[in-house]
Every structure is written in structure tokens, then in C-alpha cells.
Amino acid sequence: MSALTAAEIEAQIPRLRRFARALTGSRDAADDLVQDALERAWAKRHLWQAGTNLRAWLFAVMHGVFVNGTRRRRPAESLDAQDGADRERVDGGASAETAIAVRELREALQRLPDEQRQVVLLVGLEQFSYAEAAGVLEVPIGTVMSRLSRGRERLRQLLEEGAPDRHGLRRVK
Amino acid sequence: MTGGKMNEAQLHAYADGVLGEGERAEVEAHLAAHADDAARVGAYRAQNDALHRAFDAVLDEPHSLRVGAARTPVPGRWRWGAALAATFVGGAVLGALLHAAVGERASGAVAPIARQAALAHAAYVPEVRHPVEVAASDEQHLVAWLSKRLGTALRAPSLAPAGYRLLGGRLLPPAGEEGAAPVALFMYEDAQGRRLSLLVRREPSGSATAFRFARQGATNVFYWIDGPLGYALAGEIGRDELSAVAQVVYRQLNS
């Protein structure tokens, strides 16, 4: 019995949503992306090979949807970065400092090129191996490594630039 | 190789905790002698931790996503809006008319008014403390002030029928030609804290158009021209839901 069931796919929804949220920076855009990916995965479920990593396959399907979506939306994309996501609570007991750090991270992430953000998130947040990330993105592993390297370094710079905020200096927006 | 140049991939693998025993010791020896690389690896580990702090809460959020339940197909897209419209006297007819008249701009260039509305929405909606210049508690003053600046009588429609309350409003600079009147922006919020903004500006062409839809980034916009004024309602809510609210705005302004 190797047919993929809806329940098996649904078990991965939280992970897909977490990644999509970090990728798009917006709850609505993320859930749209995940819903589109679920529909596509369901329609193409016969393509999944039993015994292979279902989560990686679903992420690959979602990556395809994301790439098509951004290509379509490209002319108007600049707004994606700063929509409602930043208003979200971090978690109940988080200190103001944590909340600021989280907001800065979200903002910095959105300033990374899509390709770098994807790799930084697949590896750093979703804990895919480099080989799995290469499979999800359908690029060679060397490409994953160079995007990871550039993405993390860029993120480090962005966060360091943002850091004076926390010490009371005013940042000009 | 403790003194040599460490392979970049190995540093990342170390930061990600995926190296075997032997390689790990090798990297550690290298880091002990290279403070700059050690700082980088520390920063990458901190990034991973910060990503989890920022996004792990999503794992536990309730959601309504399902597999195998395809979303409402296109012909039925307006059911939600039509249902809401039908709760108003005469609304069903209006809803049907607007429904038939809605134009689609999602794929082409975004109209200037829609773009301006989406930009203003993105700029002001995330504001927690200063989303508006004048709060709804001062509604009379707000409307009088904006009317004066736009040079025409404005109203802040009540979106209570759609579950949104007025937060307040602000004045925006004109987007286009010099000498044009400034632009008014009203902001609304529902019980879940979701916000919509309604941009109102003078339209010299002064005609009337159907509802049109545009999408810019994650922001959906319905816009239309009615006599001397152009309107654009922007929000991150779904298109059908936004359409229903736009119809409430339209009815409020024409009652």
C-alpha cells in the first residue's frame, strides 16, 4: 500500500506554513502559497515515490508554486516585504528586546534575494540537509552552498546594521 | 590543516551541527586560531536560533488549510460577497450588478490609484502606535479636515456591517501631477486586528467606472471612480471578502 493519503500530506502542513511564512513575510501570502502547493501536490500525488522523503517532495512542489507565483507577480513584488506579518506577536512572554530582534530578522530576511532566503530557511529553519535542499530547489549542491554562504553573510550584515536600533539610536527609515 | 584556510562549506556544516566527530575537531582547531571565522560561525548559529524563535510559533497556529478541498472555483468566487450584499435591502441587485461589472487588472500594470493605495496601506498598516493622524474618536474633525484639504465633501463610510470599525485617517501627498489635491486615507480594523485602508482622491476625469481589482504583492485592492472621487480599498484579506467590503463602502457612499 503506497498510495499517498490526504492525512499524510496534511501532517506536513505546519512545516509548510512555517517555511512559507518566513519566505513570504505575510500570513495571507504564506497560506495562499501553502494552499496552492497542497492542491498541486494532491493533483500530482501519483508522482511521489513511496519510500522517499515526503516532506522534501512537498517542499519541492511548493517551491515550484512559489517560483511560478513570483515570476507572475514580479512587477509589483516590492511590497511583499513589509506587509502585515510584522504586526504579529512573537509569543506571550517575549521581552521587548526579543520582539525587536524578531522584527529585525523578519525585515532582514525579506531583503535577501529570494534564492538566498530560500536556502537560508531550508537549512537554518527547516533543517534540511544540503543535499535535500538541493533536491527541493533542483539545483546542484554547490549552488546551495554558495547561496547559503552569501545569504548568511548578507543576513549578518543586515542584522548588524539594524543593531544600533536596540541601543536607542534612531534609524532613518 | 589547522593553520590553513578552512573550506567555507565546512564552516557552515559546523554551524549546522552536521559534521562527524573528526571533522568537527578539525574545524574547532581552526576556529580557535581564527577569530574572524569563529565570529562568523557564531553568527550563523545565532541566525538559526533566531529563525526558530521567530517562526516556530507558526507550527502551533490553528489554520484551515486542507488537502483535496479545492478552493471555490472561479464561477463561484463571488458567493461570499453576494451573500453579504443580499443582507441589505436592494443589495442583492447591486451585488449582482457589481459582480457582473468587476474588471480584472491583476495581470497587467497596476493602475496608479491602486498602486498608491497599496503603497500607503503597506506603509501605515503595520504601525502599531501611529496608524492614523487623527483617530476615529475625533471623526467629525477628521472628516472636516480631510474634506477641506481635498476641496470636496468627504464621508468616512461605516464598515460596521462588514465587521470593521474606523480607526481614523490621514492625509497623503498627491501621487501624480503638481498642483493636484492631496489624498485622504481612512483606516479600519476588525475584531481580529486585520486592517483595511480606504484611499479617496479627486478624479479630474469625473466619470464612473466599474469595480476593478488589482493585486500588489500581498495586498489586494478594489478601486473605482464615482463622480469626482476615486476610491481604492486595500487589504490583505482574500479577494472575495474584500469585494464584499468594497460593496459596503459603495452602498454607504451612495445612500
DSSP assignment string, A100-125: HHHHHHHHHHHHS-HHHHHHHHHHHT
Query: Quick check: ipTM above 0.95?
Result: no
Instruction: Give the SS3 label for residue B179.
Output: coil
Domain ranges of chain A: 1-88, 95-168
What gap in Å lies between CA B198 and CA A47, rounded to an integer? Answer: 45
C-alpha distance from B131 to closest chain A C-alpha (Å): 12
Q: Which residues of A touch B13 (CB under 8 A)?
A: 130
* Count of CB atoms situated within 10 Å of the CB of B137: 10
Quick one: how far is CA B76 from the chain centroid? 24
Going by C-alpha positions, the residue among B12, B193, B172 that lies closest to residue A133 is B12
Minimal Cβ distance to A124: which of B13, B51, B63: B51
Q: Residue B69: pLDDT band by 50, 70, 90 thresholds?
A: low
The class of domain A95-168 in CATH terms is mainly alpha
Q: Which amino acid is at B99?
A: H
C-alpha triplet B19, B20, B22: angle, nearest 5°: 115
- Residue B36 in this model has a pLDDT that exceeds 90: yes
User: What's the one-letter identity of residue B14?
Assistant: Y
Whole-angstrom distance, CA of residue B233 vs CA of residue B225: 12
CATH of domain A1-88: 1.10.1740.10
> Is the CB of A161 inside 8 Å of chain B's CB atoms?
no
Inter-chain CB proximity B54 and A10 less than 8 Å: no
CB B237 within 8 A of CB B220: yes
Neighbours of B207 (CB within 10 A): 9
Measured CA to CA, the distance from residue B159 to residue B166 in angstroms comes to 7
What is the model's pTM?
Answer: 0.53
Which residues does chain B have within 8 Å of residue A11's beta carbon, measured at their own beta carbons?
none
Question: Quick one: average pLDDT of B52-64?
Answer: 91
Q: To the nearest whole number, what is the mean pLDDT of chain B?
A: 80
* Pairing assessment for the beta strands B229-235 and B219-226 based on DSSP bridges: antiparallel
The answer as to CATH 3.40.50.720 being correct for domain B98-253 is: no
Lowest mean pLDDT among A82-96, A113-127, A135-149, B98-112: A82-96
- Overall average pLDDT of the B149-154 stretch: 89
**For chain B, what are the domain ranges?**
8-60, 98-253
pLDDT over threshold 70, residue A93: no
Does the pLDDT at position A118 exceed 50? yes
Tens digit of pLDDT for each residue in B192-245? 888 999 999 988 766 777 788 888 888 899 998 888 889 999 999 888 889 889
